[in-house]
Amino acid sequence: MMHFRQGLWEEFFKGDRLACARLITAVENEPEALPEVLDKVIPAQKGGIRVGVTGPPGVGKSTVTAALARRAVQSGHAVGILAVDPTSPFSGGAFLGDRVRMQDLGDDHRVFIRSMASRGGHGGLSPATPYAADVLDAFGLDRIFIETVGVGQAELDVLDCSDLVVLILQPGTGDVIQALKAGITEAADLFLINKADLQGTETLLDSLRFLMDISPVRKGRPFPPILEASALLDKGMDAVSAEVERLIQDCVGSGRYREKRRSRLEQEIRSAIQRKLWDGYSMLAGADDAIRAAAEEMIEKSGSPYPYIRRACSRIRIQLAEERAGCDKKE
């Protein structure tokens, strides 16, 4: 059974933006559509590069993303922006000055911009973000920027989802320590000190260089480059954009892109199997009651959960065997 109306996929593959938006809505809100979407989009992917843009709130992620996107378009790339930041001006909710400039970008038919709801108090990324990036890749966008909120543990998700990570910091805050604690500095491929027009840029540069001196080489990779810019004034952004392109070439050329893509696919297969097994189990008659009863028994009799889990697994095995037999009969 197809989830979507007839013609939607043709429109999508012809480059219809409404069709693309419809599919992203589906991966966000309609879990039952996911198998069909992934079935169509994964084989159609064209090697779009996912660039994560992360950093504390207000550091200039949206402004930097817009500046990078504009340059990518000028160099002939087809650009997607996934903004997971609820305050992102891409969605229209910001200062007028920003909004005008972002809309500039939004009107450009070579840029596809989409805000993603970040759910479940998880911060960082919406669970649908990787799928939305899959859709944009299949849509033919070859530079996909993913802007995420804040710097916290959740930000590490951006890693799984991106081929490259740009970490943005600004002078005059203690954010570098926060970022360090969260482990995001380990993950960054490029440090960008934004708002270099403000005081304290030298101090921040010094602390980053100090960090560089004391940090062992990270997993065989050298410490990332540190650049400074003022995205608001559009100063230094040519160099940042050039460096991002250089990192992209390096990522593709070194085989790291392929590796990232494979590990994303592995992860997807793993979670699809988990979803399928869980769906299968939870649909069994009385599954919810049995789980509740097992939990009650653990409390009442200080029981271990494992006898119950073993029984549940054998019910799944029996169910799978029955499904299998059903398939064999049909064939």
Q: Which residues bind ligand GDP (CB under 6 A)?
A: 55, 57-63, 85, 87, 89, 94-95, 98, 194-195, 197-198, 230-232
The minimum distance between CB 225 and Mg ion, in angstroms, equals 23
Rank residues 147 and 189 by Cβ distance to ligand GDP and give the closer one.
Answer: 147
CB of 160 vs Mg ion, minimal distance in Å: 21
The answer to whether the beta carbons of residues 38 and 46 sit under 8 Å apart is no
Partner from Mg ion, ligand GDP, none contacting 230, C-beta within 5 to 8 A by type = ligand GDP
Sign of CA dihedral 216, 219, 222, 223: negative
User: Would you say 231 and 64 are in contact if contact means Cβ atoms under 8 Å apart?
Assistant: yes
Interface with Mg ion (CB under 5 A), residue from 26, 41, 62, 139: 62
C-alpha triplet 138, 142, 145: angle, nearest 5°: 105
- The least CB distance from residue 62 to Mg ion, in Å, is 3
Report the DSSP beta bridge partners of residue 235.
Answer: 230
CB atoms within 10 A of CB 254: 11
Report the alpha-carbon distance of residue 36 to residue 272 in Å, rounded: 12
CB of 98 to Mg ion, least distance (A): 9
Nearest-approach distance from CB 87 to Mg ion, in angstroms: 6
Smaller CB separation from ligand GDP, 63 or 118? 63
Residue 207 dihedral angles phi and psi, to the nearest 5°: -70, -35
Task: Determine the 3-state secondary structure of 203 from DSSP.
Answer: helix
Q: Provide the H-helix boundaries in 151-255.
A: 157-161, 175-182, 184-187, 201-214, 237-253
Nearer to ligand GDP, 117 or 325 (CB): 117
CB 157 within 8 A of CB 50: no
Q: Which of 69, 70, 84, 88 forms a contact with Mg ion (CB under 5 A)?
A: 88
Distance CA 64, CA 59 (A): 9
By beta-carbon proximity to ligand GDP, the closer residue of 198 and 309 is 198
Q: How far is the CB of 149 from ligand GDP (least distance, A)?
A: 8
Nearer to ligand GDP, 185 or 230 (CB): 230
Query: Are the C-beta atoms of 111 and 77 separated by less than 8 Å?
Result: no
Q: Which of ligand GDP, Mg ion, none lies near 60, with the C-beta cut-off 5 to 8 A by kind?
A: ligand GDP
With contacts defined by CB under 5 A, name the span among 16-24, 53-61, 110-118, 302-310 that binds Mg ion. Answer: 53-61
Q: Say how far apart CA 277 and CA 283 lie, in whole Å.
A: 10
| Residue with Cβ nearer ligand GDP (63 or 241) | 63
* 85 makes contact with Mg ion (CB under 5 A): yes
> Could you tell me how many residues of this chain bind Mg ion (CB under 5 A)?
4
Q: How far is CA 296 from CA 48, 115, 290, in A?
A: 50, 43, 10
User: Rounded to the nearest whole angstrom, what is the least distance from the CB of residue 123 to Mg ion in the complex?
Assistant: 13
Min dist. Cβ of residue 245 to Mg ion (A): 22
Burial of 53 (C-beta count, 10 Å sphere; 0-12/13-18/19+)? buried
Question: Which partner from the list ligand GDP, Mg ion, none does 231 bind, CB cut-off 5 to 8 Å by kind?
Answer: ligand GDP
Q: Of ligand GDP, Mg ion, none, which one sits near residue 232, judging by CB under 5 to 8 A according to partner kind?
A: ligand GDP
- Both tokens assigned to 331: 């064939």
Partner from Mg ion, ligand GDP, none binding residue 92, C-beta < 5-8 Å depending on class: none
Among Mg ion, ligand GDP, none, the one that 306 touches (CB under a kind-dependent 5 to 8 A) is none
* Binding-site ranges for Mg ion (CB under 5 A): 61-62, 85, 88
